[in-house]
Amino acid sequence: MPDARLPQRHTLAWADPSAWDAAGAEPASGLLRAWAAEHRPLVVRRRIETDPAGSVPLGLPLPPEQGKKRLFTALSPQALHGMRPMPALDRARANAPTHWQSVIDRILAVAPDTRVFGSLAWEYLTGLPYLSDTSDLDLLFPMPASAPAWHTLGRELLAIDSRTTLRIDGECVRADGVAVKWRELAGESSEVLLKTLDGAYLMPRAAFMKESFGT
């Protein structure tokens, strides 16, 4: 089971710029220090083997004009001075391209608590140009409280997806941070890939549904 004491994937985290002085002169540390000095967030990512024990694994997807690189670090919890979830989709909507907004409105009508990550989230958070003609709409859907509620939501998302050329990606996320791609869960595969702070693993769909909903 995920460790409830640790922040889960996709959590935004603000770091003290001086934290990288203690972390050492890694190649990306200058960029990360400059980013933190602008009071911009990092994001909690999946843990990798080289992360120090007890640290919070963090990442930063740079905007295309800075090479679209993904930077990685891991800091102690004491180096972080604020955390919060990814932005709500309804708040980030105004930053979306005009032709996305009707799709976003349809999604919000069936899933009003949806949050956003990816290019739209980072453009909203920083004001930097992350979005491009090839960007996807990356979403985080809170896992519904029951299997029937999920089946209804899954059908509605598939219907919205079938009527747009915009790629709607993202995950359904349980309260414990375990996440599954919404397309996998809405599809007919016998297994789903579970993503947690500590890694990813396959589980039979029926077992996941029972674990999540008791059915």
Shared domain for 35 and 60, answered yes or no, is: yes
Other C-beta atoms lying within 10 Å of the C-beta of residue 214:
8
How many domains does the chain contain in total?
Answer: 2
pLDDT digits (tens, 9 = 90+) for 20-67: 665 554 555 677 777 877 889 999 999 999 999 999 999 999 888 887
3-state class (DSSP) for residue 10 = coil
Does residue 5 fall inside a structural domain? no
Determine, yes or no, domain membership for 74: yes
Check pLDDT > 60 for residue 13: yes
Catalytic residue among 16, 21, 138, 169: 138
pLDDT at 122 over 90: yes
130 shares a domain with 78? no
Please tell me the distance from the alpha carbon of residue 8 to that of residue 47, in angstroms, as a whole number.
Answer: 10
Asked whether residue 120 carries a pLDDT value surpassing 50, the answer given is yes
Average pLDDT over residues 124-128: 95
Claim to verify: residue 53 and residue 110 sit in the same structural domain: no
The pTM score is 0.92
- Let me know if residue 3 belongs to a domain: no
What whole-number percentage of the chain has pLDDT above 90? 74
For residue 5, the 8-state DSSP code is T
Q: Is the pLDDT of residue 179 over 60?
A: yes
Does any domain span residue 6? no
- In the Cβ-directed half-sphere of 153, how many Cα atoms lie within 13 Å? 23
Regarding whether 155 and 72 lie in a shared domain, the answer is no
Q: Which is it for the CA torsion 118, 124, 130, 132, positive or negative?
A: positive
Catalytic option among 3, 136, 161, 176: 136
Domain that residue 199 falls in: 89-213
In a domain, residue 108? The reply is yes
According to DSSP, residue 144 is labeled P
Alpha helices, H only, 77-204:
89-92, 98-110, 118-126, 147-162, 182-186
To the query of whether residue 90 is one of the catalytic residues in this protein, the response is no
High-pLDDT (> 70) share of the chain, %: 92
- Which one-letter DSSP state was computed for residue 160? H
Domain edge (last residue) among 55, 85, 115: 85
Arithmetic mean of pLDDT over the chain: 91
Dihedral sign for Cα 46, 30, 12, 153, please: negative
One domain, residues 204 and 118: yes
The answer to whether 138 is a known catalytic residue is yes
Burial 114-152 (b: 16+ CB within 10 A, else e): bbbbbbbbbbbbeeeebbeeebebbbbbebbeeeeebee
